[in-house]
Amino acid sequence: MRFFINFFTLFCFALVIAEAATYQVDRAHSQVTFQLRHLLFSHVKGTFSSFDGNYTIDQNRLKDLEGTADVATISTGNPKRDKYLISSEFFDTAKYPKMKLHLLYVKDHEAITELTIKNRTEQVPLRITLSPGTPKPHLKLEGEISRKEFGLTWGKAVETGGIVVGDKIKIEIDLR
């Protein structure tokens, strides 16, 4: 009986001091996507096909996150629009080829991050969903940014009084 108690105590202690694990993002099973309003009534969805990063989970909580996305790999399903988006009039990928995301801290179920686009850095809160998985946990981050805060200010008006492209961009980062 004493052996069982000692073994159980040691097992529980090992669970408490379990080390944090850092995971490299698996691009084949991950996505970086966005959606924004277009022409008042429809939405444009898009992805970045080249991105990299890592995240650390400790005791089932997000502890660290670093990531980049190659802006020139943007795809909205419209090659003409994509060409414009990477031009000097919008993202200017020749000068600013990458977006960067860095975790500052976690509060409740929200990651407070720093997002850098076109050399402008803003704090962005992102909702966290963390699910156990094999061989690594599934981390999903969702939030919204203002494109104007990052210098993405193109906003041609339409006759009805709105603008062609909305300011708010929903982002979803789905990592495995």
pTM for the whole structure: 0.85
DSSP states of 17-60: TPPPEEEE--GGG-EEEEEEEETTTEEEEEEES-EEEEEEEETT
Domains of the chain: 19-175 (2.40.128.110)
Model confidence pLDDT, tens digit, residues 94-150: 999 999 999 999 999 999 999 999 999 999 999 999 999 888 999 999 999 999 999
pLDDT (0 to 100) of residue 16: 42
